[in-house]
Structures are given as structure tokens and as C-alpha cells.
Structure 1
Amino acid sequence: MTEVPVMPLHMQRARFDPVEALAQARENEGVTKVVTPFGQPAYLVTRYEDVREVLADPTRFSNQRSEAYPPPGAASVSKEELADMRAGQLLGMDPPDHSRLRRMLTPEFTVRRMRRLEPRIAEIVDAALDDLENSGKPADLVSHFALPVPSLVICELLGVPYADRAEFQHRSSRQLDMSLPIEERLALGREGRAYMASLVARAQADPGEDMLGMLVREHGDDLSAAELVGIASLLLIAGHETTSNMLGLGTLALLRHPEQLAAVRDDPSQVEPAVEELLRWLSIVHSGMPRTTTTEVEIAGQTIPAGQLLVLALPAANRDPALVAEPDRLDISRGAPGHVAFGHGVHHCLGAPLARMEMRLAFPALLRRFPDLALAVPYDEIDFRAYHVVYGLHSLPITW
């Protein structure tokens, strides 16, 4: 039997909350030495202002892995395959390479572009609610609603066949499961890239109106096939894993706060602030990419030499009293301005406008369709995804 790893401090949760030890690290030293799940020594940055400073400065804090910190499992990967794995992966790049790719994608994720998608997203939400209702109660909100909505949206946006969703959802979920052996997750990554390579080849032969087609038509001379595969793979995984877990976990959070649930259901003006507060309070992305110091730096009064790995504790930063008063209390009325759930700086989440729109449409539509929405099992039986890079729920049994 494979031994389940102990998660690093920044990934440890007590259901909705970061563990107490993480809050203590923020309140005491601010930066603490940890070991990553792959045995690498790192400094864990926990305070809001310090996390923002690191995120804002790609010059001193690099996203590109140094030779001292190769990707997990890299010893078993050839140099050629490693180059393919890195191609198009914006999260592992610094400017100007990052800027070149980001500039090509940004027009597809503007707020104006998202507004054009709003009617179609509303249709997708309503269809998923029909499916949920027709499935009969009790039902699993994750499999009938939280996962299908963002999956179909990103499939249509990218040009990925929705019929393939079960395959890529299963694959990406296991890729992000830190309890699985690295060899298995590397194999899943290879499968994912091979699948996306077939879609890229199809788009190159006959570019459609979707994002893959746009990239081939408008930037085909500037992007290699490996870069197209990397970009599309990143968008596919990020586009459904993050929003689906926000929808599932966010619904559970509202069910645990009935007055706030009623406000989201009944008062349209409360929906956008609620989405921001849920993003802050839940912080489903534990840390984002590790950074490497390119020079000696000082964080929280500690001197950190060049060439050191930094891990950012986003849940700790978003629960910092320096950001909001009573940070451990969910309060949708405050809207949580300035949170770092989407990151900050040049790597601020490209898909943030899309994710916000999906949540802004999905939460009130769900709560209005099922005004008596309730858990179908006791709260302490809910199964949280304790070992995943993206926090969330395995399932959410509901009734109405």
C-alpha cells in the first residue's frame, strides 16, 4: 500500500480553514522554513503584504525553475521531453518570454469578451440545473453542476470536444493529486499532452472559430506546436479544475451560512461581493508556482540568499488581519477587495474574468432553482480533497 504523504504546511486545512499552525507562522515569524512534498527545502511566505511583494516582482522572484530545483520527476525525463513539458507553460516563465505568450491570449479573456459569452454561459448553467433536477434527489452537486458548467464553457472556448470530458477530467484530477506517485502523475501528463497534440494538429489543418483556431490563424508563425499544446493544456486544466471547485466548495460555504445564502439568492447586488469574499475565504489555490530568488532579499525581516525556493501561502495571506478585519469570518457584504486568490502582478490569473462570470451566474441560478437546497448527508461526512493542488470537494450530496 502506498504511503500517503504528509502535506506541506501551506496545503493543510481544517475543512474550510487553514490549519492553526499556518496562522501562527504568519503571526510570529512571517517566513518559515519548510520542505516541499518533493523533499526540496523552501521558505514559506505567509503575510499578505509579503506575498503581494513577491508576486509583483518577477525580477527578484523568478517563476522559472533554476537548475538547483528541477521539476519533480525530472531525473527520469529526457532533455527533449523536459523542453516539451515547459513549452507554452506560462506559469513557469518570466518576462519577456511570458509576456510574448500572454499578449497573444489576453484579448480572448477581456471583460468585454466575457460579456459576449454571458448568454451562452447562462444557457450552460440552466442546462446543468435541468440535468441536476432530472437526476432526482439526493444528487451530487459536483458531478451534476459544479464540474459540468466550467468544463463545457472551457471546452467551447478552446475547441475541445465535450464528449472527451470524462477522460480529461479524470486525468487532470489525478495529475493534481499529491498523494499519487510522481511516476503516475508524469504518465498522466504525457497522456494529456498527447491528447492535446492531436487537437492542435486538427486545428492546424482546419482552424475553427475557437481559441485554438484563433491561435493557429493569428499566431501560427510565432508559436511552435509544443507551445500550442502547452498553452491549451494549461487553459483546459485551469479552466475547469479551479472554477468547479469554487462552485462546489462555495455552495457548501453558503449552506453553512444560511443568511448569506439567502442574500446571494434574493439580492442581485450581493452576488459580486459574495463571489469576491468566497474567493478570499476559500483560497482554493494553495500557493501557485514556487518562486526562486535571483538575488539576496529581505522578507519579514529575514535575509534570504539568492537561489532559494519560495512557496507562497495564499490562504494565509487572504486570512491576514492586514487585509480585512476578522479575516476568518465569511462576510459577503465586504466584497474582499485586494485578495490574492487569483494571484497578483504579471501572473495574475488570465481567466479571472471568466471565472468570476461563471460564479456570478451559477450561484444565484442554483439557489433560485432550489430555494430549499440542503445537504443530503451530515456536514462531517463531506469529503474534502485534502491532497489536491486545487482544494475542493470530491462530492457534495444535496437535496431540495
Structure 2
Amino acid sequence: MHTEHDLITTPVTAALLRGALDVERTGQGVLPHRLPARARAQNTDGQLAMAEAQPSGVRLAFRTRARTVELDTLPTKRAYVGLPPRPDGVYDLVADGALVAQGSVTEGRVIVIDMTTGSAEQRPGRPGTVRFTDLPEGDKDVEIWLPHNETTELIALRTDAPVEPARETGRTVWLHHGSSISHGSDAASPTAIWPARAAALAGAELINLGLAGSALLDPFTARALRDTPADCISVKIGINVVNADLMRLRAFGPAVHGFLDTVREGHPTTPLLVVSPILCPIHEDTPGPSAPDLDSLSEGRLRFVAMGDPAERAAGKLTLGVVREELARIVEQRAAEDPNLHLLDGRELYGEDDHAELPLPDGLHPDAATHRRIGARFARLAFTATGPFRTASGRP
């Protein structure tokens, strides 16, 4: 058995990371970010700051013959007042494309969130180690997918054989932006979030800008998409704008146009897919905001309810139905001059029949089984021979 002293320590640098747009050096090590520093400097929202620092889709990628791999990290976990403890984040180790090991780090900082008051308190914690042993023999491409729902400072990588940065795969680079559903919500592990499943099925290289609670048409997010090289791009728009009750129809349409205009500045002909919201019954015809159901919270369960009034649609309040209609109108209008712009109705990923079989446990977020289903459907609808990403994925 190897001890820590037998192992080779390799500094964690940007060269070993995939799926991050920026890497911040901290007192402990490095912190991957999914928005660049310039975007972070323009943000004042704590929810987005937390979401972009959670490394959904971010992975260490290297080539090695090591059979033992250790990773020291300092996680930042979340706890909610009155709710059961959340499970520790999962690290997925993938070797030559196959998931071969999983682990967690139990130590770390904790942010304690009170959903009734909106307050949050951070409690200090210490680093921990996730250890993988008995990996397959011989040279192999290894990816360690970081927990999609835990901020993760990377401190040290140790192995029993040398590592070198992963080779370029030549695979299609797919850049995706969306809400907590794209971020991973209640998926089982980082390779099981629906964008990761879709990317694996399509043989694509994922950059995931799914930002929980934060797909709000922010101009700095559009600029991040504009400036990130990609072969195909998707933007999933709607649920956060509704459940934050952020804007009215008058503002929404121009904001979508502006967001797409900015993306197109950097990707004028790249296949660009606008995805409207999946089915979410509480907001289909009822505007936001959404809020935790206090009765459920008092019972130790989390459920969300829509606080708006359907009659307010007449005053321009947004519902998912209104959003889908407006997105369809905008894409149809723009596609007349932009043949590489496409629309996918989110209900093709998760609709009425799916909800009857696999309801959203908290009223907003899909469970693990639903993530698998959405991932498979997106791969089939977007990447196959008749899909909008067929040319990006090398299909005629």
C-alpha cells in the first residue's frame, strides 16, 4: 500500500482543468470558476457568486499509468435550517471514458442558509482528501469530475505514477448555459447531470455554464459565452426569469435579443440552440416569484410554490407559457437571417407524460432519473443526424 510520502505531487494548474473559464489562486490552492473575473466583478448577487464557483462540469483531466490517485480539496458545503443534512458532494473518476470510482470529502466549510429569512452564515472547516485505488492498469486518460454542487478549492494532486495534461480530444466542444436544472439540481453525481450525460452520449466536450438560480439574461454571462471557443452552443432560458419575477414581457423580449446578439458577436455562424423551459406545473400559467412552502419546511421537506396571480399576465408578468411563446416568436424572426439558430421546446425533454411518471420532487427540480432521461433526449434531439448540432458533431 502506498503512503502519502510514496506518491508524486503534481501542482494543480489550469493545464489540468477542463470546463472552467477561469482559475483563481487562493491561500490554499486554486479555485475553478465558471465565469471569468470580469463577469464576477460586475456581479453583486450572492446566489450567482455561489453558483458560478460550484464546479458543475469541471474536471481534472490527465494521462497517467497511476493506480492510486489522491486529491486534497477544501469544499464549501451547504446546509439548510430545518431540513435534513445534504449528502456530501461526489467526485467521479472516469478512466478512458468509463466511470470506475467515486468518492467524497466529508470535511470542509459549511454555509448555513435559512430559507425563511434569506440569511446565510459561513462556518469554517478544514481540507480533506478523496482517495481512489486499484485503478485500471496501464496508460489511461483520467478525468476527476468535481462535485457539481460544492465549491471546491483544489489543494494537491498525488499519484503513484507521473501525470501529464490530457491530450486534445478533437471532440466537438459544446458550450451550454441554463438554470439549476442544467447546473445539476438533484442529479446523483457530476457525470450524471443531464448536460454531462448528453455530452457523453454525443461524444462531445462539455463546458457547462448552468448556473443555479442565475440564468437571468445577464449581459456579462452573454459576453462569457461570446468569448469562449465552442463548436456548438445552447442557451436554456426561462425558468429563472419567471421564478425570480425578474422582468415583464416588455423587457424580456429585448433582453433575449440582446443576449443572442452578444453571443453572435463571437460566434456568428456557430450552431446556436435556444431551449425553452421544461414542464414545471407551478409556473406554467402562474407567474413568480416562487418561494419555499413554509408548511413543508416546518415538516422538514422542501417544496416550492408560485406566489404570483395568473391574472397578472395581462400586466406583462411572465409565465412559462408566455416565455415559450415569446422565445418561439423571437427565434422564428431571427432565423430568417440566421439559418444556424434553432429552437427546442423544453417539453420535448420533459413534458406532461414525464411529469406523470417522474414528478418534480420539490416542484421545481428534476430528480436523478429525470436527469438521465433529459440527457438522453437532448443527445438524440440535438446531436443526431437531423439535429441542430449535426454539422458541429461532424455529421453531414
Please, what TM-score do these two structures have when normalized by structure 2?
0.25
Would you tell me which structure has more strand in proportion to its own residues?
2
Q: Which has the higher contact order (CA 8 A, sep 6+)?
A: 1
Would you tell me which structure has more helix in proportion to its own residues?
1
